[in-house]
Chains A and B, each alone.
Chain A
Amino acid sequence: MLKINNLHVKLEEEDKAILKGVDLEVPDGAVHAIMGPNGSGKSTLSYVLSGRDGYVVTDGSASLDGADLLDMEPEERAAAGLFLAFQYPVEIPGVGNMTFLRTALNAQRTARGQEEMSAADFLKLVREKAKTLKIDADMLKRPVNMGFSGGEKKRNEILQMALLEPKMCILDETDSGLDVDAMKLVSDGVNALRDAGRSFLVITHYQRLLDHIVPDVVHIMSNGRIIKTGGPDLALEVEHNGYADILSETA
């Protein structure tokens, strides 16, 4: 599904290397987690994969089902099936959440040569998905993420994921700012989407999300590199001992 080879990335504005040779492969249907201290480059990786401006790839490659991701516009990556649940979902004043969701869904359908979904079918679909995430009509009516609490923003990200049905989902600290109930809602939402044809890359700072979304593989990232890879136990090790041991052991 997702293949990242020796990825080197620096900032466009200053000569600062952030990713220093990331290698990662997420097979079809797998759930991989990336953990790591703040500032290690996790969000940068998610942004570079989804095509945000401001970064320069100096070496390496990234592909989705064999297609070169780095060569595509952000919207093309989305149409190819990539989805990023943002660490900080963006507020867009003046654009209604419903309009946003419908425009996104129909844009992807158009890009894939499918017909646009009718307004009635769309409404039915959104209502059904929103219900399971406890997103009420008011949140759908308001401008995108405006006046949403931290937890509401994260649930709105998962709603988008559920509607767009991407095949490669990247979740960047979707657990941050969530209370226990919201964590459960979000995890259930993600787990409901787990499927043989869909893969996940779950970025998190804490282990607790991984109790709900159980990963197949856990990677530890530090200073722009994956420094250790293991099973779900690796997350527990981090939880108990912090990153210090792993960092010193690989230093």
Chain B
Amino acid sequence: MMAAVAQPKLDALSERLAGHALPEGGKWATETRKAALARLEAMGLPAPRDEYWRFTRPTTLNAPDPLPAAVFDHGGEAPVFGQIDRLKIVFVDGVFDAEASDPLELAGIEIERLEEAAGADIHWARDLYGVLETSGQSPVERPFAALNTAFAREGLVIRVTGKAARPVNLIYRHGDETSDGLVHHVVRLEPGADLTLLENGPSAARLNQVLEVEVGDGAAFHHVRTQGRDHERQAITHIFARLGRESTFKSFTLTVNGRLTRNECVVEMRGDDALAHIAGAAMGDGARAPFHHDDTVFVTHDALRCESRQVFKKVLRNGAVGVFQGKILVKPGAQKTDGYQKSQSLLLDEDSQFLAKPELEIYADDVACSHGSTSGAIDEEGLFYLRSRGVPEPEATDLLVLAFLADAIAEIEDGAVAEDITGRLEAWLRRRRG
């Protein structure tokens, strides 16, 4: 039974939804969206007193309109993942751009726009769209994900039947300073299938994105995303993943800049012997715009001998704020679980802050779970050593910053992608030094 929702939450919700109508669609989509709206109405929008919103103010996400966000000038820099042979699919301000995209065709996978799938009366997506989101609402409520399921018109519906011939790259351009993006993708990997999904770009002034991924038995899903460099953009993203037997799920996110980012990742280990690695590297500077970055992760072990690993690193300066809320839940019977969680921040000054809430909840007796959360300043000894060899202080600091982030980047399996990410960070840091 749901507890009664506090009036301010409901008021916030009705203000937020004013003028929004559920999209038109086929029978399954309409039912799904109505159910999502009902879930949302039963929760209301988050409030600062909510257990998982104490470190991140939901104000800018709750507001009916986004805060304007200037479009970042890349100054002719080569696009992220540009060196990788990939299928490109472009969204501008959260809206699919057919002209800028490659044809939605790739050996080993089927890709449709959400609009088409939702328009059909019967579609396989019905078993996935909003389904993992619903299951991820308990025990922790995620109202923005329900809002997304109810109102999203844009997104892709992907079914992977074999080994995808190339990585799929979703490119999220931001062009309108007040755009409010609402994007929902679902990906189903059939047993034994294999897909690398690359995402890059800020998407919109404000983004609400949901990605639901069903990883079938023996399938592998590799996910690497970078969230652009727009200073003022706001984003709430959710990944909901369900893992089958002997499947692999690996997700890495790079975040630099952004007034507000909350990346939630909810992983359910359903089949025995599955593996989930979730990693993130965030680098924030509060000098130009506020920087607030929140990683909220929930991994549920509900099968035998699964391995989960969370590695999150944050470099914060000039009043930047980093948040990590990570939980490992081991259900009764999930024996031989190997759960690992590490969250670390490097504070480059006294104004920056890192707030961490690591949690373990274990109901099986034969498991190995560990977690560690640390927060520290730059290593003065290392800094002096580098400077004594002639490396100027800013460059020496950047070397140590990259070294600090290296653990998280090491979670990217594809060498070329990892190199792209590292090379970019180096270049961005160099550019920042001027």
Query: For B379, B382, B390, which residue has the most chain A Cβ atoms within 10 angstroms?
Result: B390
> Which of A51, A53, A78, A164 contacts B380 (CB under 8 A)?
A53
Q: Is A57 among interface residues, defined by CB-CB distance under 8 A?
A: no
Assess A92 versus B382: contact at CB under 8 Å? Given A73-B393, A75-B393, A99-B399: yes
> Which of A73, A93, A104 contacts B389 (CB under 8 A)?
A104
* Contact (Cβ within 8 A) B403 A95: yes
Determine the residue in chain B with the shortest Cβ distance to A86. B385
Query: For A77, A94, A104, which residue has the most chain B Cβ atoms within 10 angstroms?
Result: A94
- Across the interface, which residues of A come within 8 angstroms of B380, CB to CB? 53
Q: Is B406 among interface residues, defined by CB-CB distance under 8 A?
A: yes
Q: Chain B, 371-386, contact with A by CB distance < 8 Å: what is the 0/1 string?
A: 0000000011110111
* Contact (Cβ within 8 A) A78 B388: yes
Q: Chain B, 396-433, contact with A by CB distance < 8 Å: what is the 0/1 string?
A: 10011011101100000000000000000000000000
* Contact (Cβ within 8 A) B388 A107: no
Q: Is B392 among interface residues, defined by CB-CB distance under 8 A?
A: yes
User: How many Å from the CB of A148 to the closest CB on chain B?
Assistant: 13
User: How many Å from the CB of A122 to the closest CB on chain B?
Assistant: 15
Q: Is A149 among interface residues, defined by CB-CB distance under 8 A?
A: no
Determine the residue in chain B with the shortest Cβ distance to A54. B380
In the bound complex, what is the Cα–Cα distance between A144 and B403 (angstroms)?
A: 11
Q: Is B395 among interface residues, defined by CB-CB distance under 8 A?
A: yes
Q: Chain A, 71-85, contact with B by CB distance < 8 Å: what is the 0/1 string?
A: 001110111000110
User: How many Å from the CB of B342 to the closest CB on chain A?
Assistant: 14
User: How many Å from the CB of A214 to the closest CB on chain B?
Assistant: 27
Q: Is B22 among interface residues, defined by CB-CB distance under 8 A?
A: no
Beta-carbon contacts under 8 Å, A105-126 to B: 105, 107-108, 111
- Across the interface, which residues of A come within 8 angstroms of B388, CB to CB? 50-52, 74-75, 77-78, 83-84, 86
In the bound complex, what is the Cα–Cα distance between A108 and B386 (angstroms)?
A: 12
Q: Is B387 among interface residues, defined by CB-CB distance under 8 A?
A: yes
- Across the interface, which residues of B come within 8 angstroms of A86, CB to CB? 385, 388
In the bound complex, what is the Cα–Cα distance between A20 and B144 (angstroms)?
A: 67
Q: Is B391 among interface residues, defined by CB-CB distance under 8 A?
A: yes
In the bound complex, what is the Cα–Cα distance between A90 and B380 (angstroms)?
A: 10
In the bound complex, what is the Cα–Cα distance between A35 and B388 (angstroms)?
A: 23
Beta-carbon contacts under 8 Å, A42-83 to B: 50-53, 73-75, 77-79, 83
- Across the interface, which residues of A come within 8 angstroms of B403, CB to CB? 92-95, 143
By size class, the interface of chain B is 20 to 34
Determine the residue in chain A with the shortest Cβ distance to B399. A95
In the bound complex, what is the Cα–Cα distance between A66 and B377 (angstroms)?
A: 36
By size class, the interface of chain A is 20 to 34
In the bound complex, what is the Cα–Cα distance between A73 and B403 (angstroms)?
A: 23
- Across the interface, which residues of B come within 8 angstroms of A84, CB to CB? 388
Assess A78 versus B393: contact at CB under 8 Å? Given A90-B381, A94-B404, A94-B406: no
Q: Is A204 among interface residues, defined by CB-CB distance under 8 A?
A: no
> Which of A89, A90, A103 contacts B395 (CB under 8 A)?
A103
Q: Is A160 among interface residues, defined by CB-CB distance under 8 A?
A: yes
> Which of A79, A95, A143 contacts B390 (CB under 8 A)?
A79
Determine the residue in chain A with the shortest Cβ distance to B405. A94
* Contact (Cβ within 8 A) A74 B400: no
In the bound complex, what is the Cα–Cα distance between A119 and B399 (angstroms)?
A: 18
- Across the interface, which residues of B come within 8 angstroms of A103, CB to CB? 386, 391, 395, 399
User: How many Å from the CB of A170 to the closest CB on chain B?
Assistant: 10
In the bound complex, what is the Cα–Cα distance between A160 and B386 (angstroms)?
A: 11
* Contact (Cβ within 8 A) B381 A75: no
In the bound complex, what is the Cα–Cα distance between A94 and B407 (angstroms)?
A: 8
Assess A53 versus B384: contact at CB under 8 Å? Given A79-B390, A94-B406, A104-B390: yes
- Across the interface, which residues of B come within 8 angstroms of A104, CB to CB? 386, 389-391
> Which of B390, B400, B406 contacts A75 (CB under 8 A)?
B390
- Across the interface, which residues of A come within 8 angstroms of B384, CB to CB? 51-53, 74, 90
* Contact (Cβ within 8 A) B389 A78: yes
In the bound complex, what is the Cα–Cα distance between A93 and B387 (angstroms)?
A: 16
* Contact (Cβ within 8 A) B385 A92: yes
Determine the residue in chain B with the shortest Cβ distance to A94. B403
> Which of A52, A75, A90, A91 contacts B391 (CB under 8 A)?
A75
User: How many Å from the CB of B38 to the closest CB on chain A?
Assistant: 49
- Across the interface, which residues of B come within 8 angstroms of A90, CB to CB? 381-382, 384-385
* Contact (Cβ within 8 A) A107 B393: no
> Which of B379, B386, B406 contacts A100 (CB under 8 A)?
B386
In the bound complex, what is the Cα–Cα distance between A50 and B402 (angstroms)?
A: 25
User: How many Å from the CB of B372 to the closest CB on chain A?
Assistant: 15
- Across the interface, which residues of B come within 8 angstroms of A83, CB to CB? 388
Determine the residue in chain A with the shortest Cβ distance to B407. A94
User: How many Å from the CB of A50 to the closest CB on chain B?
Assistant: 5
* Contact (Cβ within 8 A) B381 A107: no
Beta-carbon contacts under 8 Å, B152-181 to A: none
User: How many Å from the CB of B214 to the closest CB on chain A?
Assistant: 36
- Across the interface, which residues of B come within 8 angstroms of A89, CB to CB? 385
Assess A95 versus B400: contact at CB under 8 Å? Given A52-B384, A90-B381, A103-B395: yes
Assess A92 versus B386: contact at CB under 8 Å? Given A53-B380, A75-B393, A103-B399: yes
In the bound complex, what is the Cα–Cα distance between A50 and B385 (angstroms)?
A: 10
> Which of A78, A95, A143, A144 contacts B387 (CB under 8 A)?
A78
- Across the interface, which residues of B come within 8 angstroms of A99, CB to CB? 399
14 of the cross-chain contacts (CB-CB < 8 Å) are A52-B388, A53-B380, A73-B392, A75-B390, A75-B392, A75-B396, A78-B389, A86-B388, A92-B386, A94-B403, A104-B386, A107-B389, A111-B390, A111-B392
For the complex of A and B, list the 7 residue pairs with the smallest distance between their C-beta atoms, beginning with the closest.
Answer: A94-B403, A78-B390, A104-B389, A90-B385, A108-B390, A74-B387, A94-B406
16 new A-B contacts at CB < 8 Å, known A103-B391, A104-B390, A107-B389: A50-B388, A73-B387, A73-B393, A75-B388, A75-B391, A78-B390, A86-B385, A90-B381, A90-B385, A92-B385, A94-B402, A95-B382, A95-B403, A107-B392, A108-B390, A111-B392
